[in-house]
């Protein structure tokens, strides 16, 4: 399996696993987006609060220029740890939720 397909499979597994988590005290729907053509993977939640539907982006990853970009992560156990545990090297992970200047000071991870 080539690197890109390997990364796609790892991301799919991680995002799908997080989509299965349920909060016991709330009725929250989780919606999973897996776009293998654009290499864009997201998980959002939808909750009814009164008469409003409240949508929150829980996590967003994408593969760009051979690296996994973590655009957003709002989960208890960081997606970064999931990727590292799955064998993705730090230099192939971009912590894109930080600005480039901040990323430059995080040892080992890709800046862009």
Answer whether CATH 3.30.310.110 is correct for domain 3-103: yes
Instruction: Please report the pLDDT score of residue 7 as a whole number.
Output: 97
pLDDT at 73: 86
Domain segments of the chain: what residues?
A: 3-103
- Please tell me the pTM assigned to this model: 0.87
Task: Supply the DSSP symbol for 103.
Answer: H
What stretch of H or E contains 31? strand 28-35
User: pLDDT digit string (tens) for 22-71?
Assistant: 766 678 888 999 999 999 999 999 988 889 989 999 999 999 999 999 99
Mean pLDDT of 94-111: 92
- What's residue 21's pLDDT? 78
Residue 25 has what pLDDT?
Answer: 63
């Amino acid at each position: 399996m080539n690197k890109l397909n390997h990364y796609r499979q790892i991301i799919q597994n991680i995002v799908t696993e997080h989509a299965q988590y349920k909060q016991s005290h709330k009725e929250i729907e989780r919606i999973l987006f897996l776009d293998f053509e654009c290499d864009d993977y997201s998980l959002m939640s939808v909750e009814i609060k009164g008469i409003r539907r409240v949508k929150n982006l829980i996590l967003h990853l994408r593969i760009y220029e051979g690296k996994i970009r973590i655009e957003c992560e709002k989960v208890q156990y960081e997606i970064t740890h999931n990727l590292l545990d799955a064998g993705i090297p730090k230099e192939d992970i971009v912590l894109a939720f930080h600005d480039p200047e901040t990323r430059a000071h995080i040892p080992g991870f890709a800046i862009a």
